[in-house]
Structure 1
Amino acid sequence: MKVAFLTSRYPGKDNPYNHMFVHMRCVEMIKQGYEVSVYVPSKIFNTYVFEGVEVIQMPSKELNKELHQYNVLYLHLLNIYPFTKENGWPIYKYILKNNLSFVMYIHGNDVQKYGSRMFEFRFNHTELLKWVKRDTITIPRIKRFVTKTKKKSNVAFIFPSVWMKEDMEHNLQLKVENNFHIIPNGINTKLLSFHKLYKNRYKLVTLRPLSSKKYAVDIAIDIMKYLPEKYTLEIFGKGQYEKSYRDLIKANGLKERVNIKNNFIERSELNNFFTQYGIMLAPTRMDAQGVSMCEAMSSGLLTVSSDNTAIPEFITHLENGIIGKEPKKIAEEIIRVVNNEERYNQIVLKGRESMEAIDINKTVSKELEVLKKVSSING
């Protein structure tokens, strides 16, 4: 079976983080013996190989000519950029016109109206234009695409969580009753091996882009207000909110205990990196899964997040992690668990076991079964 991934971005030498969740799937599918190519709509014509995966960049209308040579297409965040050569909409239209077999993995950015993330809104001209574009161009087109294909036998939709499915249905005002599957983003539990980290129980870490309020770094800082002075937090990330977070740290008198490190961690370094900490602090305002949270659970950190959106599908409170709604109560639960070594160890071990259940080998195998099913049907 030949699979073509269609995505708006892909990792390369200069941008190793671009849609890494897509790359991980490609690598695993190749390991499992399948032919995989990646197509990225682009202004330029270019081909490169990244960690064994062939990546082809070309204008979307030219890209369409390549699609018939594949048994199935796999769509991952193929974005709509009107009036550009990177626009995914000509590809969506071509798939419709030619009744091509495809699987669409639904991410929040594919299907959410602007109003779903009002916590991001800033009162300026650019933000208003984003709102208009998303709600009057992007969402109506995605709704049209899903409506016209959701009952076809050579089509399937995959969601990382039940919440993501229900959220898409709410945003698009439609129901997907058949041809859908719930398969989380896979976690590389071989790369992220389990460590006993109780000795680091007072050292917290947050790995977050500082470019979106969705990732709730301000809430992580707020939680630190309620933890004793022996607890420290290191925040790794870059983005436009860095200054405001630094100001928040200073305003709360946390400069000695909370530190922002303006960089990301390479995936190859993650395993050793996690061994320096005992707790992963990963609150969120919205998440369809929480991949970095899951990676920390795989590595043996006591993982803390928010009781909202899809998080309860991955963390059961005090069973394989900690979730809560209020910073003070979350801090109290952290203290309670940390003060009981046996309980800490039980929770982190359950966290690791729950991640082994969604190891990337298993999730990609499930995705391949879906791809095979639709590829075996000729139009």
Structure 2
Amino acid sequence: MNYLLITNRYPKQGNLYRNAFVHRRIINYLEFSPNMNISVFVLDNKIKSKINYSFDSIDIVEGNREDLLEIINQIKPEKLLIHFLDRHMMSVIEQVHIKTIVWVHGVEALGWYRRLFNFDWREFPKYALINMRQMWNFRKFINHSNKNTSFIFVSEWMKDILECDTGTKIKRFDIIPNPIDNQLFPYLEKGQELRRKILMIRPFSSKKYANDIAIDAILQLSEESMFNELEFTIYGEGKYFDPLTEPLEKFKNVKLHRNFLNQQEMANVHKEHGIFLCPTRQDAQGVSMCEAMSSGLVPITSNNTAIPEYVVHEKTGILTGGAKEIASSIKHLYENPSEFAFLSKHASMSIQEKCRPELVTSKELELISDAKNV
């Protein structure tokens, strides 16, 4: 069977992080099913003439809507596999009447009023208008495509929010998390001394990541007598990095790194730390959190959105409601090393059981290859 995966971005030389997790999925599919015939199309209506390139032995075509229709007519796929659905993809799907699976990741499926934490009066009105059109199109698409389309969500929260924000009821769906590579992020037993070493690896480009809350917690901890026994390491990049981290520069036990890490570098840094500090204002899963959990770091995060689907409070991590609770949680683990060891082990066990690649890949391949599906 032929399959066509359609997305809005894909890795290429010089830009390795463009939807890298979508590429990882294809690699996993081909490892499990070497004879699978899958093509990749990157839809960008700004492109005047299509571009062909290869990445990790995967052939990719970049082009506009007309190029996509041409490719579909050429290869005649049995199914379309869609990541980051937009109105141009919707119009093609409605035109060709091919069975389709849509992965919903979050940013493309949330009403503008759920992003008020990023409000900027200069940019937000334009974003809100674009978003309202996207959600209207999504509503129309769901209502007209329930016969030929099924959806995959990474969390129940994400499904519920899409249904709420579009005023629809999705008939065919599955909940399948993003895979977490337990070979790259294996569990290594954490010595109790690592409870003193707290790690943050976060983008500083959006208020969504609640880095201000994490830093406020560190500042509150600085007033505690045990503060100098702790070590904080912060990696990140974005427009908020300098203004948010400036108050921390005076502390000798806080190391600031204004740069991103690739996955291998993340795995190496995980080995040196015991707690992963990752509050959030909104997350459909929290992939970097799950990767840290797989490595055995104890997540201290937020009790909101989809996070409780991946972290069970005081069993696989700690859920908090703000900076004060984060600070007290770090102090609590410092004072209770046996509880830290328990949470570390069970954090890894839970994520590797729920998100290991072979489980996620087999579930997705079963849905993709099932002729009865959609």
CA distance in 2 between partners of 1:235 and 1:143 (Å) = 40
Which residue is 2:13 aligned to? 13
Give the letter aligned to residue 52 of structure 1: S
Which residue is 2:38 aligned to? 36
Give the letter aligned to residue 309 of structure 1: T
Whether contact under 8 Å (2:214, 2:326) holds in the other structure is no
Give the letter aligned to residue 32 of structure 1: F
Whether contact under 8 Å (1:307, 1:325) holds in the other structure is yes
Please list, as runs of the form range in 1=range in 2, the aligned pairs for 1:119-138 lying within 5 A after superposition: 119-124=117-122, 126-135=123-132, 137-138=133-134
The structure 2 residue matched to 1:75, chosen from 54, 69, 82, is 82
CA distance in 1 between partners of 2:230 and 2:2 (Å) = 51
Please list, as runs of the form range in 1=range in 2, the aligned pairs for 1:1-379 lying within 5 A after superposition: 1-33=1-33, 34-42=36-44, 43=47, 44-68=49-73, 69-79=76-86, 89-124=87-122, 126-135=123-132, 137-150=133-146, 152=147, 154-176=148-170, 178-198=171-191, 199-227=193-221, 228-249=227-248, 255-357=251-353, 358-373=355-370, 375-376=371-372
Give the letter aligned to residue 38 of structure 2: V
Give the letter aligned to residue 119 of structure 2: F
What is the deviation of 1:376? Answer: 4.8
Give the letter aligned to residue 235 of structure 1: I
Give the letter aligned to residue 357 of structure 2: I
Give the letter aligned to residue 193 of structure 1: P
Change (3 A) 1:122 1:248: farther
Give the count of matched residue pairs: 360
Q: Secondary structure at the match of 2:81?
A: strand
Whether contact under 8 Å (2:213, 2:322) holds in the other structure is no
Q: Secondary structure at the match of 1:111?
A: coil
What is the deviation of 1:216? Answer: 0.7
Please give the TM-score of this superposition, normalised by the length of structure 1. Answer: 0.90
Which residue is 1:84 aligned to? none
Deviation readout 1:181-209 (Å, 9 max, x if unpaired): 11111111111111223332222111111
Deviation readout 1:330-368 (Å, 9 max, x if unpaired): 222222223333221211111111111211221121112
Whether contact under 8 Å (1:155, 1:179) holds in the other structure is yes
Q: Secondary structure at the match of 1:15?
A: coil
Root-mean-square deviation (Å): 1.8
Whether contact under 8 Å (1:102, 1:371) holds in the other structure is no
CA distance in 1 between partners of 2:39 and 2:266 (Å) = 27
What is the deviation of 1:132? Answer: 1.4
Whether contact under 8 Å (1:156, 1:370) holds in the other structure is no
Give the letter aligned to residue 188 of structure 1: D
Note the residue ranges of structure 2 that are not aligned, 5 or more in a row: 222-226
Q: Secondary structure at the match of 2:4?
A: strand
Whether contact under 8 Å (1:187, 1:295) holds in the other structure is yes
Give the letter aligned to residue 21 of structure 1: F
Change (3 A) 1:91 1:336: closer
Give the letter aligned to residue 230 of structure 1: E
CA distance in 2 between partners of 1:243 and 1:338 (Å) = 28
Note the residue ranges of structure 1 that are not aligned, 5 or more in a row: 80-88
Structure 1 residues 304-313 or 240-249, which shifts more? 240-249
Give the letter aligned to residue 207 of structure 2: K
Structure 1 residues 284-293 or 167-176, which shifts more? 167-176
What is the deviation of 1:234? Answer: 2.1
What is the deviation of 1:60? Answer: 2.2
Give the letter aligned to residue 40 of structure 1: V
CA distance in 2 between partners of 1:146 and 1:109 (Å) = 17
Deviation readout 1:80-132 (Å, 9 max, x if unpaired): xxxxxxxxx333212112211110111211111111110001121x3321111
Whether contact under 8 Å (1:319, 1:350) holds in the other structure is yes
Structure 1 residues 53-62 or 155-164, which shifts more? 53-62
CA distance in 2 between partners of 1:90 and 1:355 (Å) = 35
Q: Secondary structure at the match of 1:6?
A: strand
What is the deviation of 1:48? Answer: 2.1
Q: Secondary structure at the match of 1:315?
A: coil
CA distance in 1 between partners of 2:247 and 2:156 (Å) = 34
